[in-house]
Amino acid sequence: MINRANPIVSLALPYKMEFLNMVVAFVVEMGQSLGADEKEKGHLRLAAEEVFNYIMEAFPASDSEEVFYLRGEEEGDAVKFTFSYHSTPINVRATPEFAVSDMEATLGGLGLSLAKQVTDSFECINCGNDGWVIVFTKRVNQFNSVLHRQVMQAESESNLQQSGSLHITRATVRYIPQLIELVYRTYRYSYAKKYFYDADSLKKAIEDEHIVALVAEDSTGKVIGSVDVFFDSPQVAEVGGVMVDPRYRTSAAIMLLAREAKRLFREDLFKNTVLYGKAVTTHTYSQQLMKLYKFAPLGLRLSVYEHANFIGIAAEQNYRESLLFGILTSNLAGKEIRLYVPPEHKEMVNALFVNTEITAEILAEELPTAACSLTSMTSVDNEKKKVMEVQVNEIGSDFMMVLKKKTLAMQQDGFLTCLLAIPADKPLPVGIERILKDNKYFFCGLHISTENRWFLLYTNLFHQRFQFGNIKLYDSIAQELHRYVEKEYLAMYQ
């Protein structure tokens, strides 16, 4: 019934008449977005009102746990809406067509008859155990496709094939206008690196080599994709900004950028640099690129901001974004590291390095007491994102008191998430894990500071109702870490 290959816009609500205006607005606004004029919007408004009224009149109040869904999609030059119906089965033959000559006998069919008159197709479909759906379509005279990109993509692919291969080059300041335009085409105004919206700031970053960018351009010189490296310090840099114009996402642009980026990472510029990446978990496209680059997933940064809007990539819900943190291992072959972790997490941390070229010695040695008396912390807050990042530089004997006081202050200030970094380059005091869990911090993997210092990453989600099921992961090790982190989270409340 529902073609899931097509992009859709959806709404999910309880079956309540109070949502009538929201349902009608959804239908009308979508019609307007696709080019509906005032008359066509009026028809859509009438059809939506009558169908939803019909559904609610038949819906028993006792079944309030059922969820009503409404889906909108393009179909040719028409807009198509699918309404769910979980009440008593619809008897299509018994529903009368309203007739003025016999209003009393046919009054029950008035609403659906009106909806049929103002739409181009109308049907009730039996979905078996999933109930019924009521579906109608409305042709739009000045139809403007918004959801479908197939024609544009096909034309873009054809142009690429006709013009030869793409050219990959390192970006200079002359590419700044096109880079800003590419960011807009990819993210609109939701990209986290705000200097990509300001030409002067971006120019300075490129000239100072705080940003190293590769761009893909076609034979006309148009930039259709880029991959960027952002230096936090000479020792640590973030690989991010993997952007491809939505019209070219099925082309070879991504593969060519990935290949050239791998070559770039082997250059002397990155010889002594730890490269890390943070991929969104709303979808797995960026994660697949990370695996292609040979990034090792090391940590989950949960609930760090309202997720970005990716043009041409559907997101099912508007929940807070979580990130997968990983480091590039191909340029770290033979590197030796030694990490100290609580005994409970030794096995999981070992697993994070199994498929890497790094020689990691994971130790569970503990100190009987803290090595110093005073705890040293560095805090970076982001009030807009409601996230606080706290780096513990030294764990003192007063750590329990300091952490409790800091946690209370963050709660009072309205923060939703705290990412707490515990040093992993020296043995930890006995009982540190108990202190962290008592204050609702749970283990989420590893973290590297801008000084190339290794930390254990813990998270406090405060009063959030967090859904681990919303996190989508591609790599098997990342999936294992996800299961482990969820188990640690749930264990705090048992």
Q: How far apart are alpha carbons 417 and 432 in whole angstroms?
A: 20
What is each CA distance from 494 to 68, 488, 489, in whole angstroms? 34, 10, 10
Q: How far apart are alpha carbons 87 and 485 in whole angstroms?
A: 40
What is the helix (H) or strand (E) element at residue 483, kind and residue range? helix 476-491
What stretches of 232-330 adopt beta strand conformation (E)?
Answer: 236-244, 274-280, 295-306, 320-328
Residue 42 CA to its chain's centroid (Å): 35
Q: Which amino acid, one-letter code, is at 382?
A: N
What is each CA distance from 318 to 193, 312, 393, 440, in whole angstroms? 20, 16, 35, 25
413 with 400: CB under 8 angstroms? no
- Options 3.90.1010.10, 3.30.465.10, 3.20.20.70, 3.30.565.10; CATH for 9-139 is 3.30.565.10
Domain ranges of the chain: 9-139, 149-265, 336-491
Nearest CA-CA partner of 81 in 50, 105, 108: 50
DSSP string, 59-117: S-GGGTTSEEEEEEEEETTEEEEEEEE-SSPP-TTTSPPP-GGGHHHHGGGHHHHHHHH
Matching fold, domains 9-139 and 149-265: no
SS3 assignment, position 317: coil
Q: Name the CATH topology of 336-491.
A: Aminopeptidase (3.40.630)
Task: Report the 10 Å Cβ neighbour count for 407.
Answer: 20
159 with 253: CB under 8 angstroms? no
Triad 481, 435, 301: Cα angle to 5°: 30
Q: What is the pLDDT along the chain (494 residues), one digit of tens a residue?
A: 334 445 788 898 988 888 899 999 999 999 998 889 988 998 999 899 888 988 887 776 545 567 889 999 988 888 999 998 877 666 544 555 544 344 444 445 566 777 888 899 998 888 777 778 899 999 998 888 776 544 444 444 444 443 345 788 899 999 999 999 988 888 777 777 888 889 999 999 999 989 999 898 887 888 988 889 999 998 899 998 678 887 776 556 666 777 778 778 777 778 778 999 998 898 887 787 788 778 999 999 999 987 554 444 444 445 689 999 999 887 787 889 999 999 999 999 999 998 888 899 999 999 999 989 999 999 999 888 899 999 999 999 999 999 999 999 999 999 999 999 999 999 999 999 999 999 999 999 999 998 899 999 999 999 898 999 999 998 999 999 999 999 999 999 87
Q: How far apart are alpha carbons 109 and 105 in whole angstroms?
A: 9
Give phi and psi for 56, each to the nearest 5.
Answer: -70, -30
Which residues are CB-contacts of 61 (< 8 A; sequence separation ≥ 6)?
Answer: none
Residue keyed to tokens 């070559």: 263
Superfamily of domain 149-265 in CATH is Gcn5-related N-acetyltransferase (GNAT) (3.40.630.30)
**Tokens (6 digits) for 256:** 């060519």
**Tokens (6 digits) for 430:** 């006995």
Residue keyed to tokens 């690989």: 239
Beta pairing, strands 366-367 & 428-429: parallel
DSSP string, 381-444: EETTTTEEEEEEEE-BTTHHHHHHHHHHHHHHTT-SEEEEEEE-SSPEETTHHHHHHHTT-EEE
